Amino acid sequence: MVVRILRLLRPADIGVFMAKAPATDKPKARRKAAPKSSVDATPEALLQFYRDMLLIRRFEEKAGQMYGMGLIGGFCHLYIGQEAVVVGARAATEESDAVITTYRDHGHMLACGMDPRGVMAELTGRIGGYSRGKGGSMHMFARDKNFYGGHGIVGASTSLGTGIALANRYLDNNEVTLTYFGDGAANQGQVYESFNMAALWKLPVLYIIENNQYAMGTSTARSTAQTKLHKRGDAFGIPGSECDGMDVLAVRDAVAKAVKHMRAGKGPYILEAMTYRYRGHSMSDPAKYRTRDEVTKVRKERDPIDHIRDQILESGAASEDALKAIDKEVKAIVTDAADFAQQSPEPDLSELYTDIVITADAAE
Amino acid sequence: MPIAITMPALSPTMEEGTLAKWLKAEGDPVAAGDVIAEIETDKATMEIEAVDEGTLGTILVAEGTEGVKVNTVIAQLLEEGEDAGSAQAAPSGGNGAEAPTSAPDTPEPAAAPVATPAVAKPVVTIAADPDIPAGTAMTEITVREALRDAMAEEMRRDESVFLMGEEVAQYQGAYKVSQGLLEEFGDKRVVDTPITEHGFAGVGVGAAYRGLRPIVEFMTFNFALQAIDHIINSAAKTLYMSGGAMPVPIVFRGPNGAAARVAAQHSQNFASWYASVPGLKVVAPYSAADAKGLLKAAIRDPNPVIFLENEILYGVSQEVPDLEDYVLPIGKARVVRPGTDVTIVAYSISVRDALQAGEQLAAEGIDAEVIDLRTLRPLDTATVVESVRKTNRIVAVEEGWPVCGICAEIAAVLMEQAFDDLDAPMVRVTGEDVPMPYAANLEALALPNPNKIVQAAKSVCYRD
Ligand SMILES: Cc1ncc(C[n+]2csc(CCOP(=O)(O)OP(=O)(O)O)c2C)c(N)n1
Ligand SMILES: [Mg+2]
């Protein structure tokens, strides 16, 4: 076994356990720089973040392997590198709050507490998958977890998420909607149509832009006139801020602030999480639009899992052994999911013609 | 237990590849994310990344080995405390390496979306094209190259022609159709757009109003749904609404129809949608030669043309005539296999299936005539009717949905023009009337194939 060499902490990482006063809610004040997080989380919370991010990482690595073995087909957009975004956001919201995202969705589903077995079996196109094998990597839903999908059309999640927020406002239930989309999606027209309606009707929707700097092979600088994507709400009076999407605590804090704003009835909020995808856009990607050095540098210096690992060990929240135990637990979950996904049978051929339309009584 | 590192697949259809290079030696430490080897196929070079950490144990497949089957164990990864000796034990399941994630030298797509599945070249003969003078030299190129050549030739010929779309320039096209165009024509004429289909389709139409000849590439026609308002309301109707004052010379092109395993939002055929709209021309070629000759015609046409390509056909190599300026007429079908017993009409990738069915039928003593419609609007009904007058039986094939499809239109035309010529009711072979499922077995069931066409042909010949 290669002993993992812990990288030296950057000065900004060296946090202390400290009780922080609840963040004051000043939605109108824009932040100039990304908020710096200090290690203000309980040891249990830190370990939970570590575990949740590691589960996504290992799950995605396994999915990549299974793709290589021909068990998964078509598109398979891995979330490796971006784990802190969904885990941090989930920590600042309630289970009853809704989540909707794009095709890069496996991490979001796991963070919502969906069963890794069901997700992996959908990737292999088997009956045990969340969509009974009919949806695949990009299309899974779980109403009981308030997860509204996986959507393959770039930009679609924004208006759909705005609609979920409209329903929540209509139902007067104080739930918020986390609407995820990418930096590339941020240029679609429906995003701005949605912003306008959300601001006009003060809808409780948090637009989380996962800015991983590339849309397929196009960097934000090559596609986008205003590259500060969180400022894109200015014209509608929607407050926005940016956070370090490679730092789970920074994401958690930023989302908490936005959630407070929304639950106070002040309408939508835009959060730009600065992140990075390590892998290709989908499984095979010519990777000519960025250098290997660029990827290696981010992995070495900004990796969200290494980062929290360091925070845990540095702060003494847990020992190396405790982390190893988590590694083992996560590995077992992923292995189990992969086994399940291979053993679950293909859908019965009769499934071809089911679920196209539904009768009123079946919908009850 | 050592972990087996196996030969990964670059796409669901890859079966074997060359182990080009080992970047780690036996005994080298390996960390997750390290590139351990490079593999090659005819389409791409890919790096294998380690997922687990450990030490590289015995290398079982030497570098330079060709024809390594997917899933062959190529090396072993030793975990903590293991030595190469214990590696002799049967390797545990799993795979110590990751599917390749980068292809530094990808000459061909395998690109962003799905890797283009390798398509077996149909073992069928295609009738000589009467539009090509006898004795013309032919060159074998892929459909992808034929499309690129058509655009390049028209861009050389006419300064007002330019290409815009997502990833068409620097990335060389999501499916590599625009390969080399940026280098030749520069970024004024090969324009990368943001992901804004509705916007850039409208921008293209506006540029056409002002006299340019834009080629607007949709990464796939699934995404043209965002833009369909401009295609129909701003492009198709303007000549009419302006009493002839405002022509709209524009081409909207890109892959249409089912790809492989990409599910309902990314696998659909919009041919009949566009074919129903007055003011549009709709072209859907099958062969490389037609792709070239018809795309050149589409670019020169003074009307909005919807040019429907097919992702699975991009990599197919076929003969294209070595002619200076090979332009085909829009609106003409072509008999690609002459026959006397039954007519099979098809377009786009379904022509491949129809030709294969034609071979199978011949083996069973049925002489099928296969017609490639090539253009769907205006539809060359004369060629279809003429064939039916001869064979008296017809099967119509398309990959799209049956309801209100191109085949349904052909049935109506035959009712009107050839009712008395039919000895049997027409039979359709279409995609099933369902959204495209992801599961491999259901997807196969949802699509037409040569066997289904053979069955249909036999049934109209009362031979089943
Ligand atoms: C409307 C539409 N256009 C194009 C595509 C093809 N496509 C899929 S993902 C993608 C890039 C999106 O990038 P971004 O929004 O930054 O998200 P990321 O992939 O980085 O998570 C493109 C162009 C699509 N799915 N939908
Ligand atoms: Mg992106």
pLDDT given for residue B242 in this prediction: 97
Burial of A3 (0-12, 13-18, 19+ CB in 10 A): exposed
pLDDT for residue A233 is more than 50: yes
How far is the centre of ligand 2, averaged over its atoms, from the C-alpha of A212 (Å)?
A: 5
**Cβ(A118)–Cβ(A131) below 8 Å:** no
pLDDT recorded at residue A169: 97
B195, A184: Cβ pair inside 8 Å?
yes
Hey, what amino acid is at A245?
A: G
**One CATH from 3.10.560.10, 1.10.3470.10, 3.40.50.920, 3.40.50.2000 for B334-460:** 3.40.50.920
B411 touching chain A per CB within 8 A: no
- pLDDT digit string (tens) for B14-33? 678 889 889 899 999 987 76
| CA–CA gap between residue B39 and residue B41 (Å, rounded) | 7
pLDDT for the residue B104: 32
Which pLDDT band holds residue B114 (cuts at 50, 70, 90)?
very low
Mean pLDDT of B148-158: 98
Same fold, B140-321 and B334-460: yes
Q: What's the CA gap between B348 and B334, in Å, rounded?
A: 12
Instruction: Tell which phi-psi region holds residue B266, choosing left (phi > 0), alpha (psi between -120 and 50) or beta.
Output: alpha
**B 269-328 residues with CB < 8 A to A:** none
Q: Is B139 on the interface with A (CB under 8 A)?
A: no
Segment B198-221, tens digit of pLDDT? 999 999 999 999 999 999 999 999
A106: closest CA among A64, A59, A73? A59
Whether the pLDDT of residue B113 is over 50: the answer is no
Fold of B140-321: Rossmann fold (3.40.50)
Alpha-carbon distance values, A57 to A63, A78, A304, B33 (Å)? 10, 9, 10, 12
Q: How far is the CA of B170 from the centre of ligand 1 (A)?
A: 16
Share the mean pLDDT of chain B: 89
Nearest-angstrom CA–CA distance, B389 and B385: 6
Could B12 and A153 be called an inter-chain contact, meaning their C-beta atoms sit closer than 8 Å? no
Cα separation, A22 vs A335, in Å, equals: 40
Please report, in angstroms and rounded to a whole number, the separation of the first and last CA atoms in chain B: 57
Inter-chain contact B226–A289, Cβ cutoff 8 Å? Answer: no
Instruction: Supply the DSSP string of A300-346, one letter for each residue.
Output: HHH-HHHHHHHHHHHHTSS-HHHHHHHHHHHHHHHHHHHHHHHHSPP
Span A27-39, mean pLDDT? 47
* pLDDT value for A288: 87
User: Can you tell me the distance from the alpha carbon of B137 to that of A163, in angstroms, rounded to the nearest whole number?
Assistant: 60
Query: Which one is predicted more confidently, B38 or A169?
Result: A169
Backbone angles phi, psi at A322, to 5 degrees: -60, -40
User: How far is B100 from A343, CA to CA, in rounded Å?
Assistant: 25
Rounded to the nearest angstrom, the distance between the alpha carbon of B434 and the centre of ligand 1 is: 25
DSSP β-bridge partners for residue B40: B18, B45
Give the number of whichever ligand sits closest to the CA of residue B259.
1
Residue of A nearest to B440 (CA): A125
Predicted confidence at residue B41, as pLDDT, reads 66
CB A222 within 8 A of CB A10: no
Q: How confident is the model at residue B42 (pLDDT cuts 50, 70, 90)?
A: low
Domain borders along chain B are 3-98, 140-321, 334-460
ipTM score = 0.87
- Predicted local distance difference test score (pLDDT) of residue B119: 44
Domain locations in chain A as residue ranges: 39-337
Distance from CA of A69 to the nearest CA of B (A): 5
The yes-or-no verdict on residue B135 having pLDDT over 70 is yes
Q: How far is the CA of A216 from the centre of ligand 1 (A)?
A: 7
Residue positions of B annotated with a catalytic role: 197, 266
User: Region B106-129: what's the mean pLDDT?
Assistant: 51
Average pLDDT for residues A276-304, to the nearest whole number? 92
CA–CA distance, A119 with A127 (Å, rounded to integer): 11
**Tokens 């294209």 sit on residue:** B320
Residue environment code for B137-159, b if the CB has 16+ CB neighbours within 10 A, otherwise e: eeeebbbbbbbbbbbbbbbeeee
B51 with A61: Cβ contact below 8 A: yes
- Say how far apart CA A66 and CA A69 lie, in whole Å: 5
Mean pLDDT confidence for A272-294: 91
What's the mean per-residue pLDDT of chain A?
90
Q: Which residues contact A64 (CB under 8 A, 6 or more apart)?
A: A76, A78, A80, A279, A283, B51, B98, B99, B101
Residue B451, H or E segment: helix B450-460
- How far is the C-alpha of A7 from the C-alpha of B344, rounded, in Å? 67
**What pTM was computed for the model?**
0.87
The residue behind tokens 């757009």 is B193
Q: What angle do CA B144, B147, B149 make, to 5 degrees?
A: 105
CATH of domain B3-98: 2.40.50.100
**pLDDT class of B38 with cuts at 50, 70, 90:** confident
Q: How confident is the model at residue B313 (pLDDT cuts 50, 70, 90)?
A: very high
Interchain pair B174, A135: CB under 8 A: no
Instruction: Give the minimum alpha-carbon distance from A353 to chain B in angstroms, rounded to a whole number.
Output: 7
Mutate to test the interface with B, among A5, A120, A283, A343 (most CBs of B within 10 A): A283
Residue among B13, B111, B389 nearest A67 (CA): B13
How far apart CA B72 and CA B63 sit, in angstroms, is: 14
Tokens (6 digits) for A189: 């027209």
d(CA A77, CA A279): 9
Yes or no, beta carbons of A352 and B55 under 8 Å apart:
no
Q: Which residues of A touch B264 (CB under 8 A)?
A: 134-135, 139
Which residues make Cβ contacts (< 8 Å) with residue A330, sequence separation at least 6? A51, A54, A55, A58
Q: A2 to chain B: which residues are within 8 Å by CB?
A: 29-31, 53-55
Residue B340: C-alpha distances to residues A282, B127, B365, B367 (Å): 48, 14, 11, 6
* Contact indicator for A139, B438 with CB cutoff of 8 Å: yes
| pLDDT of the residue at B223 | 98
pLDDT by residue (tens digit) across A71-81? 999 999 999 99
Task: Give the residue among B363, B360, B375, B370 at the shortest CA–CA distance from B395.
Answer: B370
Location of structure tokens 């009780």 = A19
Q: Which of B199, B265, B435 sits opposite A189 (nearest CB)?
A: B199
Please return the burial class of B223, using the count of CB atoms within 10 Å of its CB with bins 0-12, 13-18 and 19+.
buried
Hey, what are A154's tokens?
Answer: 């770039």
- Domain A39-337 of CATH type 3.40.50.970: yes
Query: For tokens 């060296």, what's the residue?
Result: A14
Percent of chain A with pLDDT over 70: 89
Residue B85 has pLDDT above 80, yes or no: no
Q: Quick check: B110 contacting A, CB < 8 Å?
A: yes
Q: Please indicate whether, in this complex, the C-beta atoms of B196 and A189 are within 8 angstroms of each other.
A: yes
Per-residue confidence (pLDDT) for residue B109, from 0 to 100 = 37
Average pLDDT over residues A317-331: 97
The more confidently predicted of residues B10 and B76 is B76
pLDDT of residue B8: 81
Interface A:B, Cβ pairs < 8 A? 228
Residue A37 has pLDDT above 80, yes or no: no
- Residue B66 DSSP one-character state: E
pLDDT for residue B179 is more than 50: yes
pLDDT tier, B45 (very low <50, low <70, confident <90, very high otherwise): low
Residue B72 clears pLDDT 60, i.e. is over it: yes
Between B53, B174, B440, which is nearest A346 by CB? B440
Q: Which residues sit opposite B275 in a β-bridge?
A: none
Cβ atoms of residues B305 and B281 within 8 Å: yes
Point out the residue among A134, A223, A286 whose CB comes nearest to the CB of B438.
Answer: A134
Task: Determine the angle formed by the axes of helices A43-68 and A116-123, rounding to 10 degrees.
Answer: 20
B32 and chain A in contact, CB less than 8 A: yes
Among A218-222, A321-325, B105-109, B326-330, name the one with the lowest average pLDDT. B105-109
Phi, psi (deg, nearest 5) at residue A323? -65, -40
Which residues in chain B have Cβ-Cβ distances shorter than 8 Å to A154?
195, 223
Mean pLDDT of A30-49: 72
The pLDDT of residue B20 is: 86
Per-residue pLDDT band for B88 (boundaries 50, 70, 90) equals very low
| CB neighbourhood size of A35 (10 A) | 18
Pocket of ligand 1 (CB under 6 A): A 104, 152-155, 182-185, 212, 214-216, 281; B 166, 195, 197, 219, 223, 226
Cβ–Cβ below 8 Å for B103 and A356: no
**Are residues A285 and B112, on separate chains, in Cβ contact within 8 Å?**
yes
**Ranges A14-18, B70-74, B282-286: which has the least confidence:** A14-18
Pair A55, A86: CB distance under 8 Å: no
**Chain B residues lying within 8 Å of A140, measured CB to CB:** none
Count of CA atoms in the C-beta half-sphere (13 A) of B272: 18
At B84 the pLDDT is: 59
The answer to whether B106 faces chain A, any CB pair under 8 Å, is yes
Among the ranges given (A150-159, B86-95, B242-251, B452-461), the one the predictor scored with the smallest mean pLDDT: B86-95
More confident residue, B106 or A308: A308
Q: Are A75 and B166 a contacting pair at CB < 8 A?
A: no
pLDDT at residue B370 above 70?
yes
* Per-residue tokens: A292: 């290997």
Nearest to A35 by CA among A223, A357, A273: A273
How does DSSP classify residue B155?
Answer: H
| CA distance linking residue B172 with residue B170, whole number of Å | 5
Give the confidence band of B81 by pLDDT, cuts at 50, 70, 90: confident
Q: What is the pLDDT of residue B11?
A: 61
B185: CB partners within 8 A, 6+ apart? B152, B155, B162, B163
Give which of A215, A165, A153, A220 is closest to A195, Cα–Cα. Answer: A165
From residue B48, alpha-carbon distances to A113, A283, A319, B8, B21 in Å are 31, 12, 33, 8, 10
Mean pLDDT on B62-91: 75
The pLDDT score that the predictor gives to residue A293 is 93
Nearest to B12 among A64, A70, A224 (CB): A70
Q: pLDDT at position B428, please?
A: 98
> Is residue A345 classed exposed, middle or buried when 0-12, 13-18 and 19+ CB atoms within 10 A define those classes?
exposed
Cα separation, A125 vs A74, in Å, equals 11
Residue B223, token pair as written in the block: 């995404």
Q: Which ligand is nearest to the CA of B217?
A: 1
Task: Give the pLDDT of residue B120.
Answer: 46
The H or E element containing residue B37 is: strand B35-40
Is pLDDT above 50 for A27? no
CA–CA distance, A294 with A301 (Å, rounded to integer) = 11
pLDDT score of A28: 42
DSSP string, A221-281: HHH-SS--GGGGGGGGT--EEEEETT-HHHHHHHHHHHHHHHHTT---EEEEEE----S-S
Q: Look at residue B62 and tell me whether its pLDDT is greater than 60.
A: yes
Do you find a cis peptide bond into B249, omega within 30 degrees of 0? no
How many other CB atoms are found less than 10 A from the CB of residue A359?
7
Q: Is B98 on the interface with A (CB under 8 A)?
A: yes
The residue in chain A having the minimum alpha-carbon distance to the alpha carbon of residue B196 is: A188
- Starting from the edge strand earliest in sequence, which strands make up the sheet with A98-100, in order? A98-100, A177-182, A205-211, A269-274, A240-244
Determine how β-strand B73-78 pairs with β-strand B3-6: antiparallel
How much is the average pLDDT of A268-284? 94
Nearest residue to A242 via CA among A23, A25, A20, A32: A32
| Predicted local confidence at residue B103, as pLDDT | 34
Best mutation site among B166, B167, B192, B195 for ligand 1, i.e. most ligand atoms within 8 A of its Cβ?
B195
- B52, B72, B80, B438, best to mutate vs chain A, most A CBs in 10 Å: B438
Residues 419-448 of B with CB under 8 A from A: 432, 434-435, 437-442, 445-446
Q: What residues in A contact B103, CB-CB < 8 Å?
A: 284-287
